[in-house]
Amino acid sequence: MSLIAVRPAAAFAEAGFRRWATYRQAAVAGVFVNTVFGVIKLSILLAVARSAGGSVAGYDPAALSTYAWVSQALIAVVMIFTDTELADRVRTGDIAVDLARPVDLQLSWLAADLGRAAWSLISRGIVPIAFGAAFFGFHVPSDPTSIALLVPSVVLAVVVSFALRFMLNLTAFWLTEVRGIVLLYVFCSGLLAGHLIPTQLFPGWLHTLAYATPFPAIVQTPIDLTTGLATGTQAAALVAAQVAWAIGLLAMGRVVLARATRRLVVQGG
């Protein structure tokens, strides 16, 4: 698969990292907000556990703390609230410039997004987790399979979320205003991904519904590997599901992009 060579991919990733690294004030503000929301979310979950007699759906207080802080750390990494940069480029017609470049549009944006995610993890992820671990406790994974799969799982979470956001942005080719559908995405991803509340707490029907979508793969799966709620073959199965979603959604994104490009060519933008 030489759609994108390794060197340009690394360059795109580095550019993505550097570009976002210029927003330092924003990163400080983001850490603060993530931490405040983390405290609120965790307080509610701990109260749930107290009412349930100490632990709930397999989560003890340390696991809940881990859940809360890893899910907060992942907000920016997997861009729960998405962005509309690509959609804006479609709307303004700048997309034509991107399409004219001698690199694959989807994979070059993916490379840049991985760079951005790396910066987000460093700048916005570490502090909330450290804060949470210091004040509320943290479950350090001990299962070798989970530990080995943790980093791949976070990368796959970014890839799956990218593939979804990529398609979401491409709807701008067909819709004049994407804000409505973006809001829809944010609400669904917030709940179904397990960002607001762990999927293990869902009633059966909602749990089934959530796991019929790719959303748990972008938040809940990396968390499950950290909290120790998924170990061994169970952890491997979850990561395998991430791989399947990543490949399937990226392929789907290519089909959508091809259709959008044809539309652009036919209608002249």
Partner 1 sequence: MAEVTSTSAAYLALVRSRVSAQASYRTSFAIELASQVLLIVVEFAEVYVVFHQVRSLGGFDFAEVALLYGLSVSAFGLADLAVGHVDRLPFYLRTGSFDAFMLRPLSALGQLVTSDFALRRLGRVLTGVVVLVIAVVAAHVTMTPAHLLLLVTTPIAGAVIFGSVFIATATIGFHVTEGMEFANAFTYGGSYLSSFPFTVFGRVIRRLFTFLVPVAFVAYLPALAILDRRDPLGLPTWLSWCGLPVSLIAVAAAIALWRNGLRHYVGAGS
- 191 touches partner 1 by CB under 8 A: yes
First to last CA, the chain: 30
Percent helix, strand, coil in the chain, to 5, is: 80, 0, 20
Q: Interface mask (CB under 8 A) for partner 1, residues 199-218, using x and -?
A: --xxx--x------------
Q: Which stretch binds partner 1 (CB under 8 A): 51-59, 236-244, 247-255, 259-267?
A: 51-59
43 binds partner 1 (CB under 8 A): yes
Q: Supply the DSSP symbol for 214.
A: S
Binding segment for partner 1 (CB under 8 A), chosen from 67-75, 93-101, 183-191, 251-259, is 183-191
Nearest distance from C-beta of residue 170 to partner 1, angstroms: 17
- Alpha carbon distance 200, 56 (integer Å): 9
Least CB distance to partner 1 at residue 61 (A) = 13
| Cα atoms in the 13 Å half-sphere on the side-chain side of 204 | 0
Nearer residue to partner 1 within complex by CB, 194 or 228: 194
Q: Which of 252, 253, 226 is nearest to 239 (CA)?
A: 226
Q: Work out whether 197 is an interface residue with partner 1 (CB under 8 A).
A: yes
Among 47, 130, 140, 247, binds partner 1 (CB under 8 A): 47
Nearest 5 degrees, angle CA 85-CA 86-CA 88?
65
Cβ at position 215, least distance to partner 1 in Å: 12
Please give the Cα distance from 85 to 23 (Å, whole number). Answer: 16
Residue 233 makes contact with partner 1 by CB under 8 A: no
CB contact at 8 A, 35 and 72: yes
Are 222 and 160 spatial neighbours (Cβ–Cβ below 8 Å)? no
Residue of 99, 177, 208, 251 that binds partner 1 (CB under 8 A): 177
Which residues contact partner 1 (rule: CB under 8 A)?
23, 25-26, 28-30, 32-33, 36-37, 39-40, 43-44, 46-48, 51-52, 56-57, 176-177, 179-181, 183-184, 187-188, 190-191, 196-197, 201-203, 206
